[in-house]
Amino acid sequence: MKKCKRQQNNVRQAAKERKEQEQKQEAELREQQEKEQKRLQQLEEERIKTERDTAEQQKQAEEQQKKALDAAKKAKEEQKIAEEAAAKAKAEKEKLIKEQAAEKAKAEAQAQKEAEAAKAKAEKEAKEKAEKEAKEKADKEAKVKAEKEAKAKADKEAKEKADKEAKAKAAKAKAEAAKNAASVDDLLGDLTASGPSKQGGEAAAGKGGGKKSGASNADVDSYAGKVKAAIQSKFYDSDTFRGRTCELQLKLAPDGLLVSITPKNSPANDAALCDAAIRAAKLATMPKPPSREVYDTFNKAGSTVVFKP
């Protein structure tokens, strides 16, 4: 009985060990299968990668080959174009050389013809210019002479008129000169840059007070007008300065010689007109004052002439 039981136990133990052995073998088999599967999968991936790399390399090689062929083809075409261009350039250069030679010969002939014509024209123009300059010089001299004669005549007439008026007033002015000496000195001391025009107003005021200056306003204004006319006679650019104004302050010698002339400090003055007027005044022959009284009144305080061409 015990022996039978022991045998049963052995059988069960053997079955258990066999089962455990089978389970162990199955586990080892599964592990081996998994490893094999992973190995095969890795091999497949490597194969695929190798094929892909090979295909890519082949593609790049084909592209490089294509580029090389294209470059060779392009170089050949460019060489052909360059050769054609060189041949064309050579032909054009030869043609241009021939044309330039022909044009040069033509130009030389034309230049010689034009030079001869220009020489003849220059000789003609030089002759005409000389004749014109001679005529202009003669006309200018005649004009200057006529102006001098006209001025001399006007000066003479003005002097005769002034002398006549001065003689008529001389006796009366001389009689009152001593009496009015102080008043005249005060009047001249008060004269401003407005010259004769302001003096006229003050003389009128003196007359109202029973006093009178040595020269009348009319005489002084008349003489100032002659001075202005003398400047105007040498002023040849009137149209250029039309509408402009220059107020000049001048001083004369007893014989009418211009001692000094300057533009007054007036905002209305035109600088260009003043310069031109001063130049004209220096060229002009100023009229001699008709009397000492007119000279003193006009010149002592510094006379002003408003110049408007």
Q: Can you tell me the mean pLDDT for 282-298?
A: 92
How remote is the C-alpha of 83 from its chain's centroid? 53
pLDDT for the residue 217: 83
Sheet holding 303-307, edge to edge: 258-263, 246-252, 303-307
Tell me which residue of 245, 223, 241, 243 sits closest to 303, measured CA to CA: 223
67 found inside a domain? no
Give the list of residues 6+ apart from residue 151 with CB closer than 8 angstroms, or none. Answer: 230, 233, 285
Tokens 């043609």 sit on residue: 95
Q: Residue 278 domain-assigned?
A: yes
pLDDT classification of 181: cutoffs 50, 70, 90: very low
pLDDT band at 172; cut points 50, 70, 90: low
Helix (H, G, I), strand (E, B) or coil at 147: helix
Least confident of 70-79, 91-100, 187-196, 228-237: 187-196
pLDDT digits (tens, 9 = 90+) for 66-98: 999 999 999 999 999 999 999 999 999 999 999
The number of domains in the chain is 1
Residue (of 168, 262, 151, 285) closest to 219 by Cα position: 168
Residue 135, in any domain of the structure: no
Q: How far apart are CA 159 and CA 163, in angstroms?
A: 6
Looking at residue 182, its pLDDT comes to: 37
Q: Report whether pLDDT(154) > 80.
A: no
* Residue-range definition of the domain harbouring residue 297: 152-307
Q: Please, are residues 277 and 246 in contact by the beta-carbon 8 Å criterion?
A: yes
Binning pLDDT at 50, 70 and 90, where does residue 183 land? Answer: very low
Q: Is residue 17 part of a domain?
A: no
**Residue 266 pLDDT > 70:** yes
Model pTM above 0.75 = no
| pLDDT at position 267 over 80 | yes
The CATH number of the domain where 180 resides is what?
3.30.1150.10
Q: Evaluate whether residue 103 is within a structural domain.
A: no
Q: How many CA atoms lie within 13 A of 249 on its CB side?
A: 14
Please name the helix (run of DSSP H) or strand (run of DSSP E) that holds residue 94, with its range, or none: helix 2-177
- What is the pLDDT at residue 210? 38
Answer yes or no: is 72 within a domain.
no
Q: Which of 78-82, 131-135, 295-299 has the highest mean pLDDT?
A: 78-82
Structure tokens at 50: 């190798």
- Domain-embedded: residue 223: yes
Residue 38 lies in a domain: no
